[in-house]
Structure 1
Amino acid sequence: MEHQVLDVEQRGEVEWVTLERPDTGNALNGLLVAALVSYFEELRQREEIRVVVLRATGKHFCVGLDMAAGAFSATERSPHSIWSVQREIARIYLAMRKCPQPIISLVQGAACGGGFSLALASDVRIAAEDARMNAAYIKIGLTGCDMGSSYFLPRLVGASVASELLMTGRFIHAPRALAVGLVSEVVARDGLEAAAQLLVGDMLLTAPMGLRLTKEALNFSVDAPSLDAAMAMEDRHQSLLALTEDAGEAALSFFEKRLPQYRNR
């Protein structure tokens, strides 16, 4: 059933993952949640894939939870039933951070609620000129802190902007998102794929293990208790990688003025 809501196209060492519910603004229903959970949890074991590009068809990136979807409109509205749905959706974002591959999100139109969190949980965000994002949860009588927003957003834009967005549900549009560092680049909608290709190309010029451990180091360092702790991890990673065949190949290719031929060894 996954092909109906999620398209996965492999291009060499890169997978382009596309949300395929354009008629609903790519809203998260039960099938799409299950497909995303399955994809990102399995991705952790697939070293042959080095980079993932996450995008969507249609006008919007993802407008959030599909409130009309049967899986999320249970007749029994008990704490347990709602908690079960909540935890199932949360698995998407946890899996995105745990997989070693960098994830590049291409955001066009609206990215709301859970769709906003898909972008936040990615490693790099590239926005179309018409992109707008918000933590929509507070607009429906809930807290603005959901699906990792209270964790990701302050670390990306600082406490003041994060508090403003989470406490109001205001949209942040592409120009301001770029100004506050929420996205890396703003391009025309039809330039999203080309912008991603340039970034992917640079990532693929790095040693495979070096790229994976860079994501790992960033994940741990954002919560590191001290500079000493962060640098201790960096020292271990560098000492390990310095002894790999790929590190020797990187140095040799630099002096020989050619592209490196990595073997992931």
Structure 2
Amino acid sequence: MSEFDYATLRVERPRDGVVLITLARPQRMNAITFEMFDELHDVCGRLLRDREARVVVVTGEGRGFCAGLDLDDAVTLPDMSPHEMMLGQQYWAGAFVNFHELPQPVIAAVNGAAAGGGLGLALAADIRLASPAARFNAAFVKIGLSAGDVGVSWSLPRVVGLGHAAEIMLSGRFVDAAEAATIGLVNRVVPAESLLQESFELASQIASNTPFGVTLTKRVLNANVDAGSLSQAVEVENRGQTLATRGDDFREALAAFREKRPATFTAR
């Protein structure tokens, strides 16, 4: 059962602090529709306000992770005016920006093909685990569009480097799971039958740390990947550490470490 009444997504809580979002259009390899964009915006808004959600896992139902924009919706794009298309593009890409900017860490459990927007969604996550069936491509360039879409031109070079990103985006070729692990596109490849279990285990490890510490860590990573210098990066880190030491959870973490017991955090 989905926690919310969505047509294209299923939202569940498989463990304390862990939210699982499943793209639920298996008959279309979980291709994105305009309705799914609406629902992605909505679920991100809910997660932004959800104090119980510590880590988010996103995956696809069935054989695919996400096949990109559904071609039944894509055929309407040429009939839009330039203004309509620009406003739509901003809205659609904004769903991926929202995912990337969630306060919770996001793990993509890539169970199959991640093409076009599916690649963009996987890259919007902080961590990517893949099954051996996972495949990735910048499909946009294969259908007459630029491969720069939904943030891929920003995120892919940061994950795999400019050279690999150029080849993937200009050719549109598929990258299989083994190559994806070699170039750093995914953190690791795990057996298909244990993909979600390992994603949940990793999510639980993250959720065992202080809520504020995890949020600060995600923010400092995203901020400092583009820092102009070491001193600028350290300045951001220093402010985060100063804030973290003001909360009750820091005292509790120290006490639990000294007493060799699990910590109990209040997110205060």
Interval containing the TM-score (normalised by the shorter chain): over 0.9
Match of 1:167, SS? Answer: helix
Cα 1:75–1:238, aligned 2, differ >3 Å: closer, same or farther? closer
Q: Is residue 17–residue 54 contact of structure 2 (8 Å, CA) maintained in 1? A: yes
Which residue does the alignment assign to 2:88?
85
Hey, what does 2:154 align to over in structure 1? 151
CA distance in 2, matches of 1:124, 1:107: 10
Which residue of 1 is the match for residue 21 of structure 2? 17
Alignment of 1:100-139 (within 5 A): 100-139=103-142
Counterpart in the other structure of 1:197:
200
1:129 positional shift? 0.4
What is aligned with 1:179? 182
How far off its partner does 1:72 sit? 6.0
Q: Does 1:99 align with 2:77?
A: no
- What is the aligned counterpart of 1:54 among 58, 70, 75? 58
Q: TM-score, normalised by structure 1?
A: 0.95
Contact 2:108 2:122 in 1 (8 A): yes
Q: Give the whole-Å Cα distance in 2 for the aligned partners of 1:253 and 1:188.
A: 35
Say which of 27, 39, 42 aligns to 2:43: 39
TM superposition shift of 1:92 = 1.1
Whether 1:259 aligns to 2:243 is no
Kindly, what percent of the aligned residue pairs are identical?
39
Give me the whole-angstrom Cα distance separating, in 2, the residues matched to 1:75 and 1:234. 46
Q: Find the residue that maps to 1:68 and give its secondary structure.
A: helix
1:218 alignment counterpart: 221
Using the alignment, how far apart are the partners of 2:87 and 2:241 within structure 1? 41
RMSD across aligned C-alpha pairs, in angstroms?
A: 1.5
The 2-side partners of 1:143 and 1:76 are apart by 18
Deviates more, 1:186-195 or 1:114-123: 186-195
Aligned residue identity for 1:194 = Q
In structure 1, the gaps of 5 or more residues are none
Count of residues in Structure 1 that have an aligned counterpart in Structure 2:
264
Amino acid in the other structure paired with 1:237: G
CA contact (8 A) 1:116 1:135 kept: yes
Cα distance between partner residues in 1 of 2:84 and 2:174: 30
CA contact under 8 A between 2:136 and 2:175: conserved in structure 1?
A: yes
